[in-house]
Amino acid sequence: MPKIIEIKDLSIEELTPYTISNEIQLKRYFEPGLGIFIAESPKVIRLALDEGYEPISMLIERKYINGQGRDILERVGEIPVYTAESDVLTEITGFKLTQGILCVMRRKELPTANEICGKAKKIALLEDVMNQTNVGAIIRSAAALDVDAVLLTESSSDPLYRRSVRVSMGTVFQIPWTFIGGDSPDYIKYLREQGFVTAAMALRKNTVDIDDTRLRNSGKIAVILGTEGEGLKNSTIDACDYTIKIPMANGVDSLNVAAASAVAFWELCRK
């Protein structure tokens, strides 16, 4: 069982990770070793533990020790667990904990793009998607709608940043993902060399509808999604096998990238 520690001094070094709002600092916390991330809420923490992520410490509102956090405490081993009332935790973190529990966890080594592509038949590639909410929502949709894996270009936001983890409801721990190097259109060339048909979601005239049977019957398919606003790079679109669109009504030209991803995944992955 963990050691329950009543917080009496807000400045102790062990609480530092909970005070850091800069996600890059957390990612580089043990540099050059693997960094850390913050898992928030009982459900997300349970999923991370299920997938083998190593807990380092916890911050828990006192009333949850024998409540919704009890089963988690039984799973985390002899790590330090810091506790206090809600107002003290808010002072430490800078925000009110809606579900009363945070856990500092160690990152894992990411798989390589080769490892992911060798096992997957349906993947999503996020090109420069920097909004953490969109990254989390896209990964949640990918996990729910039977996409095998997610690749992200190096300019995309890290899926283990706190907001992405929270929005994904912990699915960032369940679906394989990694970053892919190179510039557009090199990663499109790479995907095609791995046997994937590449389909760019973009607003162009020379598109095919998302329900085109050529897409569903392609065997291995990679859906390429771009950042909100600017969308995909022209060089990326030009390099893809298809440009696809979702038919719209009422003069609406497009959906938010997270919403569009859910529609695309459902259509392209349904049996």
Phi/psi-derived region of residue 261, left when phi > 0, alpha when psi is between -120 and 50, beta in every other case = alpha
Q: How confident is the model over 101-119, as a mean pLDDT?
A: 95
d(CA 143, CA 264): 13
Has residue 248 got a pLDDT over 90?
Answer: no
Q: Are 193 and 68 in contact (CB under 8 A)?
A: no
Higher pLDDT, 219 or 226: 226
**pLDDT tens digits, 54-67:** 999 999 999 999 98
d(CA 105, CA 119): 27
Query: What is the predicted pLDDT for the residue at 172?
Result: 97
Query: What is the predicted pLDDT for the residue at 271?
Result: 63
Which token pair is 23? 């996600």
Query: What is the predicted pLDDT for the residue at 110?
Result: 96
d(CA 239, CA 185): 6
d(CA 240, CA 238): 6
* Phi, psi of 70, rounded to the nearest 5 degrees: -60, -45
**pLDDT tens digits, 70-105:** 999 999 999 999 999 999 989 989 888 878 999 999
Mean pLDDT of the chain: 92
Query: What is the predicted pLDDT for the residue at 267?
Result: 87
Lowest average pLDDT, out of 77-86, 138-147, 188-197, 201-210, goes to: 201-210
Q: Are 47 and 166 in contact (CB under 8 A)?
A: no
**pLDDT tens digits, 125-181:** 999 999 999 999 999 999 999 999 999 999 999 999 999 999 999 999 999 999 999
Write the CA distances from 120 to 157, 192, 257, 263, 267, integer angstroms. Answer: 22, 13, 22, 20, 18
Q: Which amino acid is at 145?
A: L
Collapsed DSSP state (helix, strand, coil) of residue 199? strand
Query: What is the predicted pLDDT for the residue at 56?
Result: 96
Which token pair is 246? 């979702």
